[in-house]
Amino acid sequence: MRENEIRSITARKFKVTTDSKHHLPVSENLLKQDFTVSAIDKVWVSDITYIKTQEGWLYLSIILDLCSRKIVGWSVSDRITKKVVTDALLKAIWNRKPSKGLIVHSDQGSQYASIEYRNIIQRFGFKQSMSGRGNCYDNAVAESFFHTFKTECVYLEVYNSKAKARSSIFDYSSFAPI
């Protein structure tokens, strides 16, 4: 590859998006790496990733249905705050209208441990689940989606603006809610 000046497009710098060094409550891990779900809207997983633009970072939060492996809600923000995850969750609820008892799984990030996020889960009768600290395998499906999304979409472009990145995210076919 080096002799032919061929480079991989998947290797990128790593940016930490999880702030698990907080004093907010952490939920029990209900998922425990069991990714086999027999019906839609029984288990959702959520995560945040970053997208580099020439105007600065954008943060993307997704809600993915573990059975169908489809994105059911998502949100983009200039800042990595609890609002980006609560907006994604509310969009997923609006799109899918799931029943009580739904498990919503994430990492232990401060956004997911926030009172606002927990209140939404409680208000709709859902169950919150969080990965063990430093255990990325519990959220492997969301991580895998982000890898595919970045390889197929993000790494193929240089985003001159945040608006161009938002448009590209919106156009990506996997973001059409089921």
pLDDT in tens, the chain (178 residues): 778 777 665 555 544 445 455 567 888 998 888 888 999 999 999 999 999 999 999 999 999 999 999 999 999 999 999 999 999 999 999 999 999 999 999 999 999 999 999 999 999 999 999 987 766 677 888 989 999 999 988 999 999 999 999 999 888 866 655 4
Domain hosting residue 88, numbered range: 43-175
1 domain-assigned: no
Answer yes or no: is 103 within a domain.
yes
Q: In a 3-state reduction of DSSP, which class is residue 160?
A: coil
Residue at 113 is within a domain:
yes
- Report the CATH number at residue 154: 3.30.420.10
Per the domain annotation, does 14 fall within a domain?
A: no
Alpha helices in the chain (DSSP H): 82-96, 110-113, 115-123, 140-152, 162-171
Is residue 54 within 8 Å of residue 160, measured between CB atoms? yes
Q: Note whether residue 59 is domain-resident.
A: yes
Other Cβ atoms closer than 10 A to 60: 25
Q: Looking at the domain assignment, is residue 93 inside a domain?
A: yes
pLDDT at position 178, please? 44
Task: Decide if 161 is inside a domain.
Answer: yes
Task: Please report the pLDDT score of residue 2 as a whole number.
Answer: 77
**Is residue 36 a part of any domain in this protein?**
no
Residue among 83, 78, 125 at smallest CA distance from 102: 125
Q: Work out whether the CA dihedral 119, 86, 137, 37 comes out positive or negative.
A: positive
- Start-to-end CA distance of the chain, whole Å, equals 40
What is the tally of structural domains in the chain?
Answer: 1
pLDDT of residue 23: 67
